[in-house]
Amino acid sequence: MSSLLAVLEDAWSTAQPKLTEIRAALNTRNPEHPRIIRVGQLDSELLDQELAQLLQEPINKALSMINSTFRARFEPELNLLIQLTLYKLSIWNTGASYGAKLQDLRYVVSNNFSERLSRAFGIASNTLLLHGALTLVLPYVHNRFRSHALSQAWPDAPSSDYRRKAWDALGSAESIHALLGLTNFVAFLWSGRYRTLADRLLKMSLVPSRRLVKRDVSYEFMNRQMVWHAFTEFLLFLLPLISARTIRRRIYRITSLLSPTFLYSLLPFRNLLGLQPIVKKGLSTTQKRGKFWALPQDQCAICAENAQFSLNVSEPTNLFTSSSATDPPAHPIYNPYQTSCGHIYCYHCVAERIIRTAEEADDELGWECLRCGEEVKEAHRYTVDIIESELSESDYEFSSDLDIGTDLSGSMGSYSESAFSE
């Protein structure tokens, strides 16, 4: 046993110089072909743009509410201010934008790509100033100059005018910049270095922040988006099939069934417990009341209900105001029609309610009168017989138009004429 241990120790001692040489070679050796992530660099640019838009959107909304002219006039300046602030807090201070940090990238300036992987952040201030001027200030100046030229009609100036020459020079510069940008993008896809022209001019490239690049792809956000998209698609398919009016009327029926009188009728052994029926003064236990039972008889209850759901704040009664049953707003009745329960409404109001109920094909649920709560399925024109002997010379004389009967049986179910004497 001791002889075996001695042999192993001698072999270990003999291999030590070779192992030390291998470790030194591994530590000093630089990768010949380091991994370059092109998608991460492009994603970082998109993330920076979306961040600037998210910060700019609430400011634009606030300014539009104060003064829309001010917002349209100074929107480029506000965008420049936001981008300069983000540049100072990200690239100037840490050497990487917020989008690059999310992609685990940072800016470096070096000629040897392999040396950049071990170099800490230390970009010169002059380089950062030039980079900020080329990426932020120069596009702002170009946008302002182009807007000014268009507002002053430089493209329509004579060819010999200096304004037309300046406009042609601007167009040529834009074409050259677009061509150089396309060439730079193709070179970026080939080599993975210098995402923009400004980066190539200043030799600033995005590299991984760590030597061992580990690109973690999380599908949590994608799964969340897919679930939400499927949910919204399902809602867009389902909502047109749901009748909101039917649901609202069923809710009204359920709330009316939860009244104290109805709940009392469901109590078992109420006679044995000595409970007395709930009877209000002037009302019987079997009398039903609608939502607008206290509305004066010369006003249309349907008009009053429609006014309560109105979104027009200029009207005296709307969704955001509360009305009192004792002092409701005036809703006069036009072209009165009487329902089967004996209450009077405007013709167009009661016609719309009955036709809508018929179109919904809800046979078990008819339209309920807003005054008495009874089911209404037909209505007829409200007429009054005028006795000539009761009229004096000072009374108005009505024409015979009031006595003309109209057959509307095809539009609102069955209608009949009735006469009420006063």
More confident residue, 298 or 273: 298
Q: Is 282 left (phi over 0), alpha (psi -120 to 50) or beta?
A: left
The reported pTM is 0.46
Q: Which residues pair with 383 in a beta bridge?
A: 419
At residue 420, the pLDDT reads 36
At residue 274, the pLDDT reads 54
Q: Which residues pair with 274 in a beta bridge?
A: none
Q: How confident is residue 399, by pLDDT bands cut at 50, 70 and 90?
A: very low
More confident residue, 330 or 299: 299
Cβ 396 vs Cβ 340: under 8 Å: no
At residue 352, the pLDDT reads 86
More confident residue, 296 or 284: 296
More confident residue, 182 or 394: 182
Mean pLDDT of the 398-412 span: 41
Cα–Cα distance measured from residue 222 to residue 133, given in angstroms and rounded to the nearest whole number: 36
**Average of per-residue pLDDT values in the chain:** 75
Percent of the chain residues past pLDDT 90, beyond the cut? 16
Cβ 188 vs Cβ 182: under 8 Å: no
Cα–Cα distance measured from residue 14 to residue 161, given in angstroms and rounded to the nearest whole number: 88
Q: Which residues pair with 418 in a beta bridge?
A: 382
- In 10 A of CB 72, how many CB atoms? 11
Work out whether strand 375-376 and strand 379-385 pair parallel, antiparallel, or are unpaired: unpaired
Mean pLDDT of the 386-399 span: 52
Supply angle C-alpha 67, 69, 75, rounded to 5: 100
Mean pLDDT of the 388-407 span: 46
Q: How confident is residue 291, by pLDDT bands cut at 50, 70 and 90?
A: confident
Q: How confident is residue 87, by pLDDT bands cut at 50, 70 and 90?
A: very high
At residue 320, the pLDDT reads 54
At residue 276, the pLDDT reads 53
More confident residue, 123 or 391: 123
pLDDT at residue 204 above 80? yes
| CA distances (Å), origin 214, targets 35, 89, 103, 210, 218 | 10, 26, 10, 9, 12
At residue 401, the pLDDT reads 43
- Range with lowest mean pLDDT among 35-49, 74-88, 180-194, 404-418: 404-418
- Range with lowest mean pLDDT among 116-125, 162-171, 213-222, 331-340: 116-125
pLDDT at residue 360 above 80? no
